[in-house]
Structure 1
Amino acid sequence: MRQASAQVLASQKQMQAKYDQAKEAGDQWYRRAQMAVEKGQDELAREALTRKKAYEDNARSMKAQLDAQTKASDQLKANMTMLDQKLGEAKGKKDTLKARAKSAQTSIHT
């Protein structure tokens, strides 16, 4: 379970990095479009805006996936915490039962 959790977190970090890259690329293409407009190169500006839109669409899609992955990751963390608590309770009960058994064995032999 811990290994799966680590893999999910690593995957989430990779997705976040790709999302950030796509957003930055979209921003760069927007700046290029602005420069092209300033230089009177409308065709280059249109092409830059087309590429900007493609990167923004890609980023939007990744953001939806990232949000879903974050939600799943949060649920996994909550489940891990609950499992750790239950494991601690089970170990405590086991120790109590072992102590009772030892006490009972001692009472029988005396």
Structure 2
Amino acid sequence: MALLERVGTLLRANINDLIEKAEDPEKLAKQLVLDMENQLLQVKTQVAIAIADQHLLQKKLKEHEDAMNQWNRKAELAVQKHQDDLARAALERSLSSQQVAASFAQQLEDQNAETETLRNAFGRLQQKLSETRSTCEVLIAQHRRARTAGKANAARTLAASHERSNVLNRLRTTIQRNEATNSASHMILEAQSLEDQLNGLEKEDRIERLLEDLKSRQPRLT
């Protein structure tokens, strides 16, 4: 995620070195603080979005688990009524719901990890921002007492800024591509391929076994 990479860049930055080498340390210090405040706001927004996605995945998972259980109950009822065809259809629906639920469970696990990562980044960036503010105040005061920075240092700072900009652009492209991939992964393909047909045969066999199991557990009529 590009945002986390940008945060990592800020967290690894040597504030003392950057300010001491700047042509205008006071201006750079204020910009660093401003950049961190902006990144902190973005991370906070992403944490909120991640939590919202987390809740949505939890809701979808529960919906399909409930559907699976409901179709199982209907299959049992059909067996009790000696309606094997209805029982098979209900079991097929139950298996489909089970498969979708498993997919959502995996997505939820991944989302939980991403949310935790964002939360940790937010906490670390908050601490870094506080430290940066204090450091900037001290270094600015020192610089005002002894201004020794030269043009060469300013040129190196500018080059470093340009390099960071290029890195951010590449990271931004990466996250956009990842977001598009994640979005596409949520689409459920309906076209049935040859592999789907073979899987269907396996499903039918499994349904028959489940049906026989249900029937075997029914009380025998005397």
TM-score band, normalised by the shorter chain? Answer: 0.7 to 0.9
For 2:132 and 2:51, locate their aligned partners in 1 and report how far apart those are by CA, in whole Å. 28
Counterpart of 2:136, as a letter, is K
TM-align CA RMSD: 1.7
Counterpart of 2:102, as a letter, is R
Higher RCO by CA contacts (8 Å cutoff, separation 6 or greater): 2
2:109 alignment counterpart: 67
Counterpart of 1:61, as a letter, is S
2:55 alignment counterpart: 13
Segments of 5+ residues of structure 2 without an aligned counterpart are 1-42, 146-222
Between Structure 1 and Structure 2, which shows a larger proportion of helix residues?
Answer: 1
For 2:68 and 2:123, locate their aligned partners in 1 and report how far apart those are by CA, in whole Å. 39
Segments of 5+ residues of structure 1 without an aligned counterpart are 105-110
Matched, 1:85 2:127: yes
Matched positions, count: 104
Any runs of at least 4 consecutive aligned residues in structure 1 with deviations exceeding 4 A, and if so which? 98-102
For 2:79 and 2:137, locate their aligned partners in 1 and report how far apart those are by CA, in whole Å. 76
**SS at structure 2 position matched to 1:40:** coil
- Residues 51-97 of structure 1: CA deviation (Å, up to 9, x unaligned): 00000000001111110111111111111111111111111223334
2:77 alignment counterpart: 35
For 1:24 and 1:54, locate their aligned partners in 2 and report how far apart those are by CA, in whole Å. 12
CA contact (8 A) 2:46 2:118 kept: no
TM-score, length basis structure 2: 0.44
For 2:82 and 2:130, locate their aligned partners in 1 and report how far apart those are by CA, in whole Å. 70
